Chains A and B, each alone.
Chain A
């Protein structure tokens, strides 16, 4: 059986080489080997690691499959490699992008292999947060000028003699190292290395009602579980984050964007039209994200639940 299998694939590989040996092979026209049989219309969505993005994908997937008759594949990949995959046509759409100017210039402006897909309708914001129980006991901690006063209480084994500013996944947009330096704070940025590690650590701190200072972002389901209050940094002004080394201001409020593969945007038919129309709110995304992350529903089940309850919203997204 095993040898038969090996023979089959060896024969298949040989046959392929014989068939296409003299032609060019375009890797951008390649489908996933796990895709459905020929004839079904398939859309591939990029699935990012955070739950909010999973919520977008779950709802889009549910509607594409149940209302428009597509088959949807998802590929989980980090943000920057996802841009790469989008330009190569390995994925058809990214539904939530937090701003990657460098990639945008390269692929959208210069190479024109990626097309803008419009607003997601959700506004993202990155910031520094302390747990609300701590902010209520010490109201002045929510101004960055007073952070040094609390550095001693925020010390951990990892931060040496300084206070700890907990950062997360290396794939996320962050200026924290520069911020700490330029604002001359008595803090050390400790990278958790992955969002899973960061969330686990935040939950452990919260269980014990310990104070902590963390890089975090909205919308995020964890706020429902661990209420957090933002620390005010020097206000954001257009262009104040242009030089990553000299940043000394807060993070902007970013309207999150959708991006489609240029080919797909043109020839993707109803699926492309639907994904361009897909636009919901922060609250809606949070509802679905909470069902996935806290109630531990499968993304499909969560999407189904939301779709059942919000027909008027998504009817408008369907192309006529």
Chain B
């Protein structure tokens, strides 16, 4: 869920006087307003209480889902179809056996992405077996196959519609935006209300999360098709359908494959969250380990998820860059299929379909000991720098509290004014209007104070992420070796389910908002490091050489050549940091972050549709506002 697709075009700089007038106006207006209009939180008279209607909606579903035709003839069939497909895939995987599945992974990776990825894929599946996670891995894999297939089909169709019609595109964009920013926890509850806990609900929640990137990228690919080629196809007398099949879709191949890749990654990142509603598989193991505060066991179930994600990602990336002759490819596939059948049959006749138990390696205990040691020695009383608990307390007292109290002390209209001014600084009237409207919607929903609390945590986390991320990225951009060492670390942090590092984070920073910020930083850092490194690397070498020949020191080169030239990438990194930090606000709620994240978790745990959905909607609004405030767009003429 990392690679961003569109790089925001950067607006040419305006003269300083013109750029800063909105901010200046805000600075003047706010104190005046406080004097005349009074301050304080969002007025209760301007907010709407949704708990009544949402509560009765939830009651209606519970009372009618066993009898109403909508459920019997529509949702029921969807649910059954999902169960049947997952079961079919699961039984197939079990029938092929561990040897067969491992061989299949290796062979497919080999054909699609080459020998190195193939070795990696084989090793990855072997590790899943070694960790004693074979059956859960197969359950998760079966669920993923069905969820990804459904996401790609649904996303592809939506993308096709949006790619071919401007009106659909405009109508679909806000829907896709919302689907992606809406925290998964918030829509788990409605899905559960309709489908009940279990695999169907898990698959559908995953599809809601994983289909948008496919739709977006399909639309992007179709819309970006070279008009010259289309014109040529049209002039050759191709019908609309022929043009689509022979010109537009093949031209969009790269985007389509990237879309599939993104769908896979998003679906996998849902594997653990979906376990909260009974998805089973690896996520369930992680979740259970959490209950007995067993980091080692959680890690043992988390590693297969990381490995699956890395292998699928590398294979899909290989497919994008791959080529080669058709005849050779066919021979290769035939050979691969033959080997696979042989291995599967061998496994069947040797009666070794499940991973042998004597081959398990128990990593839980050493990991737990390591975590205990770490937390015991870092928590407090470290000479000179103090322990992590002291840092956390300091960070809460000196950064989080002032920012939160400051935001909450501002009168509500001043916050709107500030948001509008900031959005106007980086964007247009239209983005400013969206940002203000989003912020206003939060007030209307009646969660103003909690949202500002969450906002303060998000801002602090983004700041820490950017400082760390830019520092690491500068080092990585300077030395290729450093970058090579970083890559696997970044991969792991990006795909590791957050539930796994929840306990170590609390053990280090205590319960509260500081660990919530820490978890968010861990999650958002990899993307920021990646984008920034790429941006710094992409700087024209001629410009650097010129600076060097003029006698610029390393620091001067960085400050005066690399950073300014990499500005678009840096801005994108800021935007991504905001979006990703917001995505783990819920995880923050699980370690004491409170505010909106806690409300969403509370809603799910108590079956309280109103609390959960309203908090989820507020997170979407925050996301919308922050995105508009950080994403520069070109002014339309």
Contact = CB atoms under 8 A, between A and B. Distances in A.
Contact of B514 (A10, A50, A90, A157): A157
A2 B90 CA distance: 13
Interface stretch (A12-20, A231-239, A264-272): A12-20
A27 B89 contact: no
A193 B294 contact: no
Interface in B72-95: 72-73, 75-77, 79-81, 83-90, 92
B379 interface: yes
Interface in A70-106: 75-82, 84-85, 88, 90-91, 106
Contact of B84 (A6, A12, A49): A12
A9 interface: yes
Given A81-B192, A197-B511, A204-B379, A17 B199 contact: no
Nearest to A73: B280
Contacts of B83: 30-33
B207 to A, nearest CB: 14
A28 interface: yes
A296 B291 contact: no
A196 interface: yes
Which of B278, B340, B389, B513: most chain A Cβ within 10 A? B278
B605 interface: yes
A199 B364 CA distance: 19
A79 B605 contact: yes
A51 B291 contact: yes
A24 B73 contact: yes
Interface in A165-195: 166, 169-171, 190-195
Given A81-B277, A90-B198, A194 B591 contact: yes
A170 B601 contact: yes
Interface string A278-300: 00000000000000110010000
B209 to A, nearest CB: 19
B511 A166 contact: yes
Given A16-B84, A201-B506, A190 B511 contact: yes
Contact of A33 (B69, B86, B287): B86
Nearest to B516: A193
A32 B280 contact: yes
A59 interface: no
Given A13-B84, A194-B502, A81 B291 contact: no
Contacts of A26: 66, 72, 76
B92 A5 contact: yes
Given A76-B287, A81-B607, A157-B396, A197 B73 contact: no
B476 interface: no
B598 A193 contact: yes
A196 B267 CA distance: 25
A146 interface: no
B161 interface: no
A6 B92 CA distance: 11
Given A90-B198, A190-B511, A196 B291 contact: yes
A296 B294 contact: yes
Which of A16, A79, A193, A292: most chain B Cβ within 10 A? A193
Given A193-B590, A200-B506, A77 B276 contact: yes
Contacts of A80: 605-607
B512 interface: yes
Contacts of A160: 401
Interface in B254-289: 275-278, 280, 284, 287-288
A198 interface: yes
Interface residues of B, number: 94
B118 interface: no
Contacts of B80: 16, 20, 25, 27, 30
A47 interface: yes
Contacts of A34: 87, 90, 139, 199, 280
A198 B149 contact: no
B512 A33 contact: no
A208 interface: yes
Interface string A298-309: 000000000000
Nearest to B78: A25
A24 B589 CA distance: 40
Contact of B73 (A25, A31, A33): A25
A296 B368 contact: yes
A257 to B, nearest CB: 19
A207 interface: yes
Interface string B362-391: 001100100000011001100000000100
Interface string B381-415: 00000000100110011000100000000000000
Contact of B278 (A12, A25, A76): A76
Interface of B: 62-63, 65-66, 69, 71-73, 75-77, 79-81, 83-90, 92, 104, 107-108, 139, 142, 145-146, 149, 192-193, 195-200, 275-278, 280, 284, 287-288, 290-294, 296-297, 337, 340, 364-365, 368, 375-376, 379-380, 389, 392-393, 396-397, 401, 502-503, 506-507, 510-515, 588-594, 597-598, 601-602, 604-607
Leading 8 A-B pairs by shortest Cβ distance: A25-B76, A171-B605, A33-B87, A157-B396, A170-B602, A158-B512, A24-B72, A9-B85
24 contacts: A1-B337, A6-B145, A9-B85, A12-B88, A13-B81, A27-B76, A30-B200, A33-B83, A34-B139, A78-B605, A78-B606, A81-B605, A84-B607, A85-B197, A91-B197, A156-B510, A157-B397, A157-B512, A170-B598, A190-B594, A194-B290, A194-B502, A197-B590, A198-B511
